[in-house]
Chain A
Amino acid sequence: MSVEIRVASIDPIRQTFARTSRRFGADKPASRYQEASFDLQPRDNFHYRPVWDPQRDIYDRRRTAIEMRDWDDFRDPRQYYYATYVLNRARMQEAAEKSFEFVDKHGLMATLSVEQVRDIETLLLPLRHLEWAANLNNCFVTAYCFGSSMAQGAMYATTDRLGIAQYLSRIGLLLDGNSGQSLTDAKARWLDAPAWQPLRRLAERCLVQKDWFELFVAQNLVLDSLVHPLLYAPFHSGVGDAGGAYLAMLTEFIKDWSGDNQKWVDACLKIAAAESPANRARLSAWAAEWKGLALDALAPLAQCAAHLDGPARLESAARALDQRIAKLGFDAA
Chain B
Amino acid sequence: MNTQDTRRPTGKKLSLKEKYALMTRGLGWDTSYEPMDKAFDQLGLEGIKIHDWDKWEDPFRLTMDAYWKYQAEKERKLYAVLDAFQQNNGHLNISDARYVNTLKLFFTGITPAEYNAHRLFAMLGRQFPGPGAAIACQMQAVDELRHVQTQIHSISQYNKYFNGLHDHTVMNDRLWYLSVPKSFFEDAISSGPFEQIIAISFALEYLLTNLVFMPFMSGAAYNGDMATVTFGFSSQSDEARHMTLGLECIKFVLEQDPGNAAIIQRYLDKWFWRGYKVLGLVSMMLDYMLPKKVMSWKEAWEIYFVQNGGSLFNDLSRYGLRMPKYWEQSVAEAEHLSHQTWNAFYNFSGAAAFHVWLPSDEDMAWLAEKYPNTFDQHYRPRIEHYRKLQAEGKRYYNPSLPMLCQTCQTPLIFTEMDDPTRTSHRQLEHDGDTYHFCSDGCRDIFAGQPDKYVSAWLPAHQILQGNCVEPGAEAAGDPGADALRYFHVVAGQDNLDYEGSPDEANWLRWKGLDKTPPAAAA
Contact = CB atoms under 8 A, between A and B. Distances in A.
Report whether chain A binds chain B: yes
Interface of A: 7-8, 10, 12-19, 32, 35-36, 39-52, 58-59, 81-83, 86-87, 89-90, 92-94, 96-97, 104, 107, 109-110, 112, 114, 117-118, 121, 128-129, 131-132, 135-136, 139-140, 142-144, 148, 151-152, 155-156, 158-160, 162-163, 165-167, 169-170, 173-185, 187, 190-191, 200-201, 204-205, 207-208
A205 B34 contact: yes
Contacts of B39: 204, 207-208
A54 B285 CA distance: 37
Nearest to A140: B126
Interface in B1-40: 1, 3-4, 6-14, 19, 22-24, 26-29, 31-34, 38-39
18 contacts: A14-B159, A14-B160, A14-B521, A16-B156, A36-B149, A36-B152, A46-B457, A47-B182, A59-B119, A83-B150, A87-B76, A107-B9, A166-B65, A169-B22, A169-B27, A177-B9, A177-B12, A208-B34
B64 A187 contact: no
B311 interface: no
Contacts of B161: 10, 12-13
Given A8-B89, A158-B141, A205-B34, 8 more contacts: A18-B170, A43-B169, A43-B173, A48-B455, A148-B115, A155-B118, A183-B26, A185-B1
A64 B457 CA distance: 26
Contact of A17 (B125, B138, B148, B167): B167
* Contact-residue size bin, chain B (C-beta under 8 Å from the other chain): 35 or more
Nearest to A181: B6
B119 A83 contact: no
Given A16-B159, A132-B131, A175 B6 contact: yes
Contacts of B162: 13
Contact of A19 (B8, B72, B73, B169): B169
A141 to B, nearest CB: 9
Contact of A44 (B24, B76, B174, B189): B174
A204 B39 CA distance: 8
Is chain B's binding surface mostly helix, strand, loop or mixed? helix
A182 B138 CA distance: 26
The 6 A-B pairs with the shortest beta carbon distances in the complex, nearest first, are A177-B8, A90-B72, A178-B11, A163-B64, A107-B9, A177-B11
B440 interface: no
Given A14-B521, A32-B153, A49 B190 contact: yes
Interface of B: 1, 3-4, 6-14, 19, 22-24, 26-29, 31-34, 38-39, 42, 45, 63-65, 67-69, 71-73, 75-76, 78-79, 87-89, 92, 112, 115-116, 118-119, 122-123, 125-126, 131, 134-135, 138-139, 141-142, 145-146, 148-150, 152-153, 156, 159-163, 165-170, 172-174, 179, 182-183, 186-187, 189-193, 452-453, 455-457, 462, 488, 502, 506, 510, 520-521
Among B4, B14, B26, B182, the one with the most A-chain Cβ atoms within 10 Å of its Cβ is: B26
B138 A107 contact: no
A63 to B, nearest CB: 12
Contact of A143 (B8, B67, B123): B123
Contacts of B187: 47-48
Given A49-B455, A96-B65, A143-B125, A174 B89 contact: no
A52 B45 contact: yes
Contact of B34 (A49, A107, A207): A207
B11 A58 contact: no
Contact of B174 (A18, A45, A159): A45
Contact of A142 (B122, B186, B191, B192): B122
Given A17-B167, A93-B68, A139-B126, A51 B192 contact: yes
A166 B63 contact: yes
B68 A42 contact: no
B150 A82 contact: yes
Contacts of B190: 47-52, 58
